[in-house]
Amino acid sequence: MDKNQAFTILAKAGGTRAARVIVDNTKNLNRCRVWLIARALKRGMPVAKIIHKKWFYGLAFYTNKNTLDPRPDTETLVAAVIADNPHKPRILDLGTGTGCIISALVKNINMASGIGVDKSRGAIKVARKNIKNLGISDVVEIVRGSFENPNLTLEKFDIIVSNPPYIAFGDKRVDAGAKHDPKIALYADNDGFGAYYSIAKNAPRWIKPNGKIYVEIGIDEDTKVRQIFESNRWQYVRDERDLAGITRVLVFKPCI
């Protein structure tokens, strides 16, 4: 099957933009494979999950069923850290997934280094693959662990970042594409705030006195998340809004 035929079939299944991206990024488009991809598009599978690639902050990341696809909203988190112009920071990325956050930070901050942590074995494999592909294995380490464990690390970091799961179980507002992401990366207990409780409680052990923590949040979660952190002896610094004007990132520093 030639590319024009494949494009026509895929465009009917998922639209012209999706078809063009798939055709341009997929080899060996035989008839059987094209029809399988068309079926996946009709089920709402994101293009990134089909071609196993998603761009984030100008970098290409491998992604699969074990990881949350990097999203433009999360670029707000990266930009917030870069805006503070940290010097030679050690960074801890909690729930690293594809490794996109810590990778983008290390690539854009001079002499930055750090550790990405995830409890999913599948995500760990993906993150390590991306770190290797980006040529930053010498400055970024990917390890298995959980922010629910207060003894996660003995090291103290200049910066902690996290895009934790923040959707409540049963929330019907998730888009069709999210149904193809791992539930562990999307949903949290305590009405979606469980991860924030764990991070706010445990992260003081992992941060330097003059460090900062940057967390991504869901829509209209700023008041509750701020309350959670402040009740665990964090001082609110500021918030950052995404391109849609939605409060997407909260920044805190430890109370001294």
Q: What is the pLDDT of residue 164?
A: 95
Q: Looking at the structure, do residues 70 and 39 belong to the same domain, yes or no?
A: no
Q: Looking at the structure, do residues 76 and 185 belong to the same domain, yes or no?
A: yes
| Number of helices (H), then strands (E), in the chain | 9, 11
Counting residues of the chain whose pLDDT is more than 90, the rounded percentage is 79
CA distances from 202 to 54, 184, 185 (A): 31, 20, 19
Q: Is residue 244 part of a domain?
A: yes
Q: Is residue 50 part of a domain?
A: no
Q: Looking at the structure, do residues 155 and 79 belong to the same domain, yes or no?
A: yes
How far apart, in whole angstroms, are the C-alpha atoms of residue 202 and residue 9?
A: 51
- CA triplet 252, 254, 256: central angle to 5 degrees? 140
Q: Which domain holds residue 116?
A: 55-60+65-254
List the CATH number of the domain containing 182: 3.40.50.150
Query: pLDDT tens-digit profile of 181-190?
Result: 888 888 788 8
Number of domains in the chain: 2
Q: What is the pLDDT of residue 188?
A: 86
Q: What is the pLDDT of residue 173?
A: 67
Q: Is the pLDDT of residue 111 over 80?
A: yes
Q: Looking at the structure, do residues 74 and 200 belong to the same domain, yes or no?
A: yes
Q: Looking at the structure, do residues 124 and 212 belong to the same domain, yes or no?
A: yes
How far apart, in whole angstroms, are the C-alpha atoms of residue 249 and residue 198?
A: 17
Q: What is the pLDDT of residue 176?
A: 66
Q: Are 105 and 161 in contact (CB under 8 A)?
A: yes
Q: Are 209 and 233 in contact (CB under 8 A)?
A: no
Q: Are 180 and 45 in contact (CB under 8 A)?
A: yes
Q: Is residue 146 part of a domain?
A: yes
Q: Looking at the structure, do residues 38 and 91 belong to the same domain, yes or no?
A: no
Q: Is the pLDDT of residue 79 over 90?
A: yes
Query: pLDDT tens-digit profile of 121-180?
Result: 999 999 999 999 999 999 999 999 999 999 999 999 999 999 999 888 877 667 666 778
Counting residues of the chain whose pLDDT is more than 70, the rounded percentage is 98
Query: pLDDT tens-digit profile of 11-30?
Result: 989 999 999 999 999 888 88
DSSP 186: T
Q: Are 70 and 61 in contact (CB under 8 A)?
A: yes
Q: Looking at the structure, do residues 93 and 213 belong to the same domain, yes or no?
A: yes
Q: Is residue 16 part of a domain?
A: yes
Q: Which whole number is the average pLDDT over 193-222?
A: 96
**Mean of the per-residue pLDDT values of the chain:** 93
Q: Looking at the structure, do residues 22 and 124 belong to the same domain, yes or no?
A: no
Q: What is the pLDDT of residue 180?
A: 82
Q: Looking at the structure, do residues 94 and 143 belong to the same domain, yes or no?
A: yes
